[in-house]
Amino acid sequence: MNIQTVKFDCRHFKGHIPCKPNKRQGYMCNACPAYVPVDKRILIIKLGAIGDVIRTTPLVVRYRALYPSCHVTWLTHSPEVLPKDSIDEVLRFDFASAYGVLHRRFDIAINLDKEVEACSLLADVNAKEKYGYTWRDNHIAAATPAAEHKLLTGFFDDLSKQNAKHYMDEIFEICHQKFNDEPYLLNFDKNLVERFEYVKQQAKEKKIVGLNTGCGGRWKTRLWPQEYWTSLVEILQRQGYCPVLLGGKAEHEANVAMSEKSGAFYPGHFSLEEFIALTSCCDAVVTQVSMMMHIATALQKPMVLMNNIFNANEFYLYHRGVIVQPATGCDCFYGATCTRARCCMTDIAPQAVFDGLKQILT
């Protein structure tokens, strides 16, 4: 074995450590049946938030279909949600990763984040084709005209409100592709599901409806009142379902109080990986627009999505969900504070949410 026989173009090549075929089977490059020459090297820059990272993964499915031997590198703030068996290299965004990426050559580079650092990286990276958002003349710019529509809807609220395209169509168009219901990908450890067998036992063969009571801290105007969640729990219990309260550390205190008041089962809060496994035990999910929306979509769970401050056209639920909105509309488009004396989320009645559940569970 000598350096001339190393297959640097193999999809399994790691650069400085043994590849999986060598580690697992002891194969060497000079006679390796697992050798797969890379036909395209693809870089995806999608840093965050977690939900946005998850809902960008259908692009990987498309490129795998187009180029079965492609090598995909993904740069992100949230590497924990990306499946390593589908994405060759997942890098946490930092100086070392960005510096390394800038010294490689790619066939395709995509940036779908509008932050300066992400756009600047796409501008500087060595790639034959570039899609998405770049940096030019001291400001954000479209790498190709296909990204101009999404930029304009981000610049102007009026254009954003008029937008009739959902996110999947938008990002595929930006990459000069056509969306064909490619599924989400998710780092889902099925071995963790065994830890939540007690949830199914609690349900006693009833259908489990996961109630995700939080929505993150950025737009509190999305929050549905706690008393409405409690009312929904009571309706579900009367109708023979098993409601399970879900949330993170920020929702823990409220979920404990709701569980004590309503009798709804609350298993506690967990790591992100465990939260995904817990969600997989549900037959359906009710959530405000949040990370849970994307986790449930990735797990192909029927879902009722409550929305007020966003353009509902943006959301694509793969024909498994129902969007419920205030009958009175919303005056706070992408608003962090409500301009009404009474928040419009109070105009989404618990019965309306249950009616949505009946549509997707029958």
What is the rounded average pLDDT of the residues 302-316? 95
Residue 273 sits in a domain whose CATH number is 3.40.50.2000
Question: Is 6 a member of any domain?
Answer: no
278 and 227 within one domain: yes
The residues that bridge with 132 in the sheet, in sequence order, are: 111
How many folded domains does the chain comprise? 2
307 and 159 within one domain: no
332 and 290 within one domain: yes
pTM of the model: 0.93
* pLDDT number for residue 44: 98
Q: What is the pLDDT of residues 46-65, one digit of tens each?
A: 998 899 999 999 999 999 99
Reading the block at residue 15, the tokens are 């650069």
239 and 157 within one domain: no
Percentage above 70 pLDDT, the chain: 100
Strand, helix or coil for residue 165 = coil
CA distance 318 to 98: 34
CA distance 107 to 268: 45
100 and 60 within one domain: yes
Which domain-ending residue is among 174, 208, 226? 174
What is the rounded average pLDDT of the residues 146-152? 97
Question: Is 12 a member of any domain?
Answer: no
350 and 233 within one domain: yes
- Please give the DSSP secondary-structure letter assigned to residue 192: G
pLDDT confidence band for 101 (50 / 70 / 90): very high
Q: What is the pLDDT of residues 150-175, one digit of tens each?
A: 999 999 999 999 999 999 999 999 99
Question: Is 186 a member of any domain?
Answer: no
Is the separation of the CB atoms in 54 and 81 below 8 Å? Answer: yes
Question: Is 338 a member of any domain?
Answer: yes
Question: Is 201 a member of any domain?
Answer: yes
Out of 43-47, 336-340, 347-351, least confident range: 336-340
Residue 49 sits in a domain whose CATH number is 3.40.50
121 and 69 within one domain: yes
* pLDDT number for residue 232: 97
What is the rounded average pLDDT of the residues 298-324? 96
Using alpha carbons only, how large is the chain's radius of gyration in Å?
23
311 and 170 within one domain: no
* pLDDT number for residue 254: 93
Which range of residues forms the domain containing residue 286? 195-361
